[in-house]
Chain A
Amino acid sequence: RKEVEQDPGPFNVPEGATVAFNCTYSNSASQSFFWYRQDCRKEPKLLMSVYSSGNEDGRFTAQLNRASQYISLLIRDSKLSDSATYLCVVTHQAGTALIFGKGTTLSVSS
């Protein structure tokens, strides 16, 4: 079993749609949690960190449930530019390697 599991996708949605991605992690000792975005053949870019209290950044909302070892990302009012692969990422300790999920591909169409 992979340490970080994500929805297989792909998600194909129209502009303006709301889409939710889910992720689970297997190591209960994981300390930090992130969502990254990766465009085709590019390096991943940090979208947002994820906190137990939940956090929002514009159209993006992330949630963490430590008890269930579950992370989510909600994107509201999808834009064409949101089309990318979204990577769920954890670390075991501060400063240690990022551990990536396989990613979920989102395609937003007009």
Chain B
Amino acid sequence: GAVVSQHPSRVICKSGTSVKIECRSLDFQATTMFWYRQFPKQSLMLMATSNEGSKATYEQGVEKDKFLINHASLTLSTLTVTSAHPEDSSFYICSARGGNGYTFGSGTRLTVV
């Protein structure tokens, strides 16, 4: 079946630094990638939608200059959290649209200290 590999699974970084999260579709072409964020005991909230080769579309309230999304190929999309702060600590997860349905990465737990 379709697999999306997401790395890193867990990262701790210092406040003010940047963190890059990668999602790779291993056996299918991900034409669209959705990025979500989930705070404890909350629902997965859509942050942005990216299509290969074009700029991402961000949801209301999500700062595009803070959360940089790149989808340069059909198998790789990245989310960079720039100048991270403790309030950015969350579970970030990608979901690829391509092939048969939606395939999720395993998620990245970001802790900013």
- Tell me, yes or no, whether A binds B: yes
Task: Mark A residues whose CB is within 8 Å of B.
Answer: 2, 4, 41-46, 87, 95-103
A41–B93 alpha-carbon span in the complex (Å): 11
Select one of A2, A43, A96, A99 contacting B93, CB under 8 A: A43
Interface centre among B44, B97, B104, by most A CB within 10 Å? Answer: B44
- The 7 A-B residue pairs with the shortest CB-CB distance, nearest first, are A43-B104, A102-B43, A100-B44, A100-B43, A97-B34, A97-B46, A43-B107
The size of the chain B interface, using a CB distance under 8 A, is 21
Select one of B41, B91, B101 contacting A41, CB under 8 A: B91
B interface secondary structure, majority: strand
Task: Mark B residues whose CB is within 8 Å of A.
Answer: 32, 34, 36, 41-46, 49, 91, 93, 95, 97, 101-102, 104-107, 109
A87 touching B43 by the CB < 8 A rule?
yes
A interface secondary structure, majority: loop
B44 touching A44 by the CB < 8 A rule?
yes
For B104, the chain A residues whose CB sits under 8 A away are 43-45
Select one of A4, A42, A100 contacting B106, CB under 8 A: A42
17 contacts between A and B (CB under 8 A): A41-B91, A41-B107, A41-B109, A42-B107, A43-B105, A43-B106, A43-B107, A44-B104, A45-B104, A87-B44, A95-B97, A97-B95, A98-B34, A98-B46, A101-B43, A102-B41, A103-B43
A87–B42 alpha-carbon span in the complex (Å): 11
A102 touching B107 by the CB < 8 A rule?
no
Known: A98-B95, A98-B102, A100-B45. 7 other contacts (CB 8 A): A4-B43, A41-B91, A43-B104, A43-B105, A44-B104, A96-B49, A100-B36
A102 touching B42 by the CB < 8 A rule?
yes
For A102, the chain B residues whose CB sits under 8 A away are 41-43
